[in-house]
Amino acid sequence: MTELTISEDDYPEMAAVEGIQRGLHGFNQEMGGPYDREPVTVLARDEKGEVQGGLLGLTYWNWLFIDWLWLHRDQRGKGTGSRLLERAETIARGRKCTDAYTDTFSFQAPHFWVRNGWEEAGRLDGMPPGHARIWFKKKL
């Protein structure tokens, strides 16, 4: 057996990062099957074409994962977030996804997710201090 050296690296080489990612992705696909990962990007632009909000996510293993959902402060409370979410869910259903998940913070309007038919699936209180990180899921 080869002796390993454990070290810290504040600025790892891209090859090291890619090696970790390839190793984990390979194991995950070995255990769970091919990812078939496809991006989901839905944008809200103003009349000048400037992005005023958007949603970034992925579909894989019959799930939609929403990684980012953001709206410019002036666009909040106007239904735009729900329209972005609805479009992403439609894309996911078209890709044969049956479920969706995301995570957010308690200061990022978790009631938005509940209003759109999502249910809380987990919570870490005190992350960050005085708040919580909350996971949501939805059957598509």
Distance between CA atoms of residues 41 and 138, nearest Å: 19
Is the residue at 21 inside a domain? Answer: no
pLDDT at 35: 84
Per-residue pLDDT tens over the stretch 21-70 = 999 999 999 999 988 899 999 999 999 999 999 999 999 999 999 999 99
Is the residue at 7 inside a domain? Answer: no
24's tokens: 């984990």
CATH at 80: 3.40.630.30
Instruction: Give the residue numbers spanning the domain of 100.
Output: 35-139
Q: Which helix (H) or strand (E) holds 63?
A: strand 63-71
Residue 105's pLDDT band, with cuts at 50, 70 and 90, is very high
**Dihedrals φ, ψ of 99, to 5°?**
-145, 165
Checking if the pLDDT of 17 tops 90, the result is: yes
% of the chain with per-residue pLDDT over 70: 100
Closest C-alpha to 75, from 64, 66, 63, 83: 83
Mean pLDDT computed over 127-136? 98
Is the residue at 122 inside a domain? Answer: yes
Is the residue at 40 inside a domain? Answer: yes
Instruction: Output the pTM of the full model.
Output: 0.88
